[in-house]
Amino acid sequence: MNSVRVNLGSRSYDIALTSGDSKSVGAFVRAGLPKTTTALVVGDSNTQLHGRVLETALIASGFRTAFAPVPAGEPSKCLEQLSALYDALYGLAADRQTCVVAVGGGVIGDLAGFAAATYNRGLPLVMVPTSLLAMVDSSVGGKTGINHPKGKNLIGAFHQPAGVWIDLALLTTLPEREYLSGLAEVVKYGVILDSDFFSYLEANTRAVRERQPEVLLHVVGRCCRLKADVVEKDEYETTGLRAVLNYGHTFAHGFETLAGYGTLLHGEAVAIGMTCAATLAERLGLVGADFVSRQTDLLVALGLPTAPGHSYPTEELISVMRRDKKAVGGQMRFILPTRLGEVKLFDDVPEPLVRAVLQSH
Amino acid sequence: MNSVRVNLGSRSYDIALTSGDSKSVGAFVRAGLPKTTTALVVGDSNTQLHGRVLETALIASGFRTAFAPVPAGEPSKCLEQLSALYDALYGLAADRQTCVVAVGGGVIGDLAGFAAATYNRGLPLVMVPTSLLAMVDSSVGGKTGINHPKGKNLIGAFHQPAGVWIDLALLTTLPEREYLSGLAEVVKYGVILDSDFFSYLEANTRAVRERQPEVLLHVVGRCCRLKADVVEKDEYETTGLRAVLNYGHTFAHGFETLAGYGTLLHGEAVAIGMTCAATLAERLGLVGADFVSRQTDLLVALGLPTAPGHSYPTEELISVMRRDKKAVGGQMRFILPTRLGEVKLFDDVPEPLVRAVLQSH
Ligand SMILES: NC(=O)c1ccc[n+]([C@@H]2O[C@H](COP(=O)([O-])OP(=O)(O)OC[C@H]3O[C@@H](n4cnc5c(N)ncnc54)[C@H](O)[C@@H]3O)[C@@H](O)[C@H]2O)c1
Ligand SMILES: NC(=O)c1ccc[n+]([C@@H]2O[C@H](COP(=O)([O-])OP(=O)(O)OC[C@H]3O[C@@H](n4cnc5c(N)ncnc54)[C@H](O)[C@@H]3O)[C@@H](O)[C@H]2O)c1
Ligand SMILES: [Zn+2]
Ligand SMILES: [Zn+2]
């Protein structure tokens, strides 16, 4: 079994990379959490079947379990669903060792993770990501949370999982559009941290789109390692290092908010946002036109959008972007490429340039 | 100015002990939080005036502020009030440096502290405790949280404040019964950690009850130091050391729950709980009858109850105590005295003995 170690002192954990081996999840949980006897498995309507299989495996390994179903979709990252998970934990007579097992995409991971972070002031959490985005991004790094009616992920806590169990076979049921959306974050890792990985993706677009198992294993494993490297250096997003992961995200946040959640998938917005960021970097003279086109070509080859399908009022986009929580004191901040495989934080980008980039897309 | 330092590495902070010196709060906040420019002041209907004075002082020091009023009382530790604080933070356009200033008793501290812990994955928090209980206990140590309909403090997070500002003059408006209730925790510190302090209290019951300023300064300062010592050794309640603070609390939890929150004040329940715990320790042969009567005499001299005014069904008490979050796997655990100034954790107390103690009270 392949695995990636996330080194965070007493909060270190393993990301197991498996394929179709649910039976071993019990041993994995027990190795990380020797004192745990009960587990709450959380899944949504689309991941429920995967969740039930895992639950059965946990029961076979001697855990007492319950299953908490959550409606699929972003609106479930809310206080009401959080409250329902608290009720489920109470119903299970959860103690401080009870483990929350999040089986789903980023929505389930964020919601169940936040419930784990805040029930009894912190329960152990095992992430079982089922979407590509969750495998390469949301399940690693300890960010959990829900949305505020006025802003995405505005409520949350850092809470590292006790382990991440990735079963690549679960991706077979993931709808095409969701899969492609996850590829945007995959491309992001190449751009911000690893030009070799970017080249690997360029050379394997077809195999990636076809979800070929050995390519998936390499892609997911590499993304987890790259994200873990960043998280290890800036666990709580205080040194600024972790901010590199936000490449394309300030723009994406604007498009996602104005489109209304659900219209644009997160990865689609990130693909568009990365294109805006690359254009901005080019106008600032940080990279050449070749950089922008290489990134655009790869995104397009992977079936991702590079411009919003719809035109949004620039002033509204700017106003949302200024309220982005990465902003400090109303000042927009951008992570921009300086070459393939390297990005830096810029907090003094002239607003007219940002406007111009938004108007050109 | 007296102060107590809480040493927790990068999360270290000062507890300032002042009297009637609100003007200096701005400098105190600035010293701890040089990057902060905005503050949300939270208070309840009874602490609102104190909160407004502090808000004025913060404005005079150049902070941009807003005031968020919360209804007084335990029921405010709920998702609805939490949600209202999130809205207030959003309304203030809070960024990651925005500081939450909790001006009130334990309810405001726990609620506003949890909002700070979870908004934007963690905002700095300044505690301005206004009840005796909050000064000596809840504002120090980083526990924040709200209640679940089924259990007190079931939802929460560890989030250390950036500073604690204690103004002893604020106690002048605290109702007598609330003040006495806070004294139960004061006695607790003597019993669990400091027999000299216990003797000091015995020698000064009258001055303590009259809230004489120099006695208050010593009492509050000593309790903060004692609590800080424990928290420094077991910040996240993992080593078991912090559990000593729960002396009397497993029983108290039973009485509070069955009386219905609001009937018995927390400190009153703790006084009764400590009496039960002392009796249990005596029956186990851990301490002599002299210990029990010394503790009872001090509690009575300080105007505190030592038995529930009402008799509760023993089985229901036991059932609540078993569900106490200090319990592990349904097994009750008790912190019991072995001599004045020392307690230990016992997780193998025969249940019939517990029953007998409950029936004798
Ligand atoms: N915590 C973090 O660090 C972090 C990072 C990035 C994104 N996020 C969050 O993640 C969320 C987006 O994650 P997502 O794209 O996984 O969304 P999601 O959880 O909504 O999953 C997308 C859709 O795919 C379905 N699905 C998931 N796995 C499936 C499978 N194996 N088979 C069939 N259907 C499946 C889901 O039911 C849902 O309908 C956002 O809320 C975002 O804020 C968090
Ligand atoms: N976080 C912790 O470590 C910790 C520790 C112990 C208790 N607690 C929590 O603290 C809460 C109890 O705290 P509390 O006893 O302070 O309750 P509280 O906050 O409800 O205050 C008690 C009453 O006194 C009023 N009040 C407070 N200060 C006043 C003042 N200066 N003048 C006039 N009125 C004033 C309040 O409005 C309230 O009506 C409980 O919810 C308990 O769970 C938390
Ligand atoms: Zn993303
Ligand atoms: Zn207490």
pLDDT tens-place values along chain B, 361 residues long: 799 999 999 999 999 999 999 999 999 999 999 999 999 999 999 999 999 999 999 999 999 999 999 999 999 999 999 999 999 999 999 999 999 999 999 999 999 999 999 999 999 999 999 999 999 999 999 999 999 988 889 999 999 999 999 999 999 999 999 999 999 999 999 999 999 999 999 999 999 999 999 999 999 999 999 999 999 999 998 888 999 999 999 999 899 889 986 789 999 999 999 999 999 999 999 999 999 999 999 999 999 999 998 889 999 999 988 876 566 666 778 999 999 999 999 988 999 999 999 998 7
Asked if A97 lies within 8 A of B328 by C-beta distance, the reply is yes
In this structure, are residues B333 and B326 in contact, taking their beta carbons and an 8 Å threshold?
yes
Q: Using the Cα atoms of residue B133, residue B139, residue B142 and residue B144 in order, give the sign of their dihedral.
A: positive
Total CB pairs under 8 A between chain A and B: 87
The CATH number of the structural domain formed by A2-173 is 3.40.50.1970
Q: Helix or strand or coil: residue B280?
A: helix
Mapped to the 3 state alphabet, what secondary structure does A309-328 carry? CCCCCHHHHHHHHHHCCCCE
In this prediction, residue B106 carries a pLDDT of 97
Minimum Cα–Cα distance from B80: chain A residue: A79
In this prediction, residue B322 carries a pLDDT of 84
Q: Average per-residue pLDDT in chain A? A: 95
Q: What is the ipTM score, two decimals?
A: 0.84
The CATH number of the structural domain formed by A182-360 is 1.20.1090.10
* Closest atom of ligand 1 to CA, residue A182: 15
Q: pTM here?
A: 0.91
Q: Is the pLDDT of residue A330 over 70?
A: no
Distance CA A292, CA B32 (A): 44
| Residues in a beta bridge with A2 | A17
> How many percent of chain B have pLDDT more than 70?
98
Contacts of A96 in chain B (CB under 8 A): 325, 328
In this prediction, residue A238 carries a pLDDT of 86
pLDDT in tens, A35-67: 999 999 999 999 999 999 999 999 999 999 999
**Alpha carbon distances (Å) from B210 to B20, B94, B224:** 18, 42, 20
Annotated binding residues of A: 106-110, 130-131, 143, 152, 185, 249, 266
**How would you classify the pairing of strands B334-339 and B342-346?**
antiparallel
Angle between helices B25-32 and B48-60 (to 10 degrees): 70
Q: Average per-residue pLDDT in chain B? A: 95
In this prediction, residue A263 carries a pLDDT of 87
pLDDT in tens, A30-40: 999 999 999 99
DSSP state at residue A331: B
Interface of A with B in 10-49 (CB under 8 A): 37
pLDDT in tens, B252-299: 989 988 998 678 999 999 999 999 999 999 999 999 999 999 999 999
Distance CA A113, CA A155 (A): 12
- Residue ranges of chain B assigned to CATH 3.40.50.1970: 2-173
Residue A99's nearest CA partner among A20, A16, A33, A174 is A33
As annotated, the active-site residues of B are 121, 143, 185, 227, 237, 242, 246, 249, 253, 266
Q: Is the pLDDT of residue A262 over 90?
A: no
- Residue ranges of chain B assigned to CATH 1.20.1090.10: 182-360
Residue A195's nearest CA partner among A303, A338, A302 is A338
Q: Is the pLDDT of residue A265 over 70?
A: yes
Burial of A116 by CB count in 10 Å (0-12 exposed, 13-18 middle, 19+ buried)? buried
Mean of pLDDT values over A102-112: 98
The DSSP result for A94-139, as a single string, is: --TT-EEEEEESHHHHHHHHHHHHHBTT---EEEEE-SHHIIIIIT
Distance CA B112, CA A80 (A): 20
| Residues in a beta bridge with B240 | none
pLDDT in tens, B106-153: 999 999 999 999 999 999 999 999 999 999 999 999 999 999 988 889
